[in-house]
Amino acid sequence: MPSEGLRVDIELLMLVITAGLMGYLLTDQFISNALLSGLLAALFFLIGLQIEPGILKNIRLKPKQMVLGLSTVFVVAPATAFMFGTIVPEFLDVLLVIGVSAAGISSARIWSNMTNSDGDLAHDIGVVSLFTGLLAIPVLIAVTGLNIDYSVFASNALIPLTALFVGITARNIKARAVSDLRYHFSKASFWLITVITVAQTHLIFLEEGFSLFYTFLYASLVFMGFTLACFGIAYLLTRITDIYKKEARAIAFSNGSKNVAIAFFIALHIDGLAVALVGLYYFVRQLTGLVAVDLMVHGEFRAFKRLVLKASSPLGKLRVNK
Each residue of 216-259: pLDDT tens digit?
Answer: 999 999 999 999 999 999 999 998 888 888 999 999 999 999 99
Average pLDDT of the residues of the chain: 80
Between CA 192 and CA 134 the distance in angstroms is: 23
* pLDDT of 269 over the 50 cut: yes
Quote the domain boundaries for residue 263: 30-309
pTM: 0.83
Confidence at residue 290, expressed as pLDDT on a 0 to 100 scale: 85
Residues 6+ apart with CB under 8 A from 275: 36, 196, 197, 200, 264, 267, 268
Confidence at residue 71, expressed as pLDDT on a 0 to 100 scale: 94
Q: 246 in a domain, yes or no?
A: yes
**8 Å CB contact between 200 and 272:** yes
Q: 23 in a domain, yes or no?
A: no
CATH code for position 253? 1.20.1530.20
Percent of the chain with pLDDT over 90: 31
Q: 288 in a domain, yes or no?
A: yes
- In which band, very low, low, confident or very high, does the pLDDT at 102 lie, cut at 50, 70 and 90? very high
Confidence at residue 56, expressed as pLDDT on a 0 to 100 scale: 62
Q: 60 in a domain, yes or no?
A: yes
* pLDDT of 100 over the 70 cut: yes
Q: 16 in a domain, yes or no?
A: no
Number of domains in the chain: 1
Q: 6 in a domain, yes or no?
A: no
Distance between first and last Cα of the chain:
34
Q: 316 in a domain, yes or no?
A: no
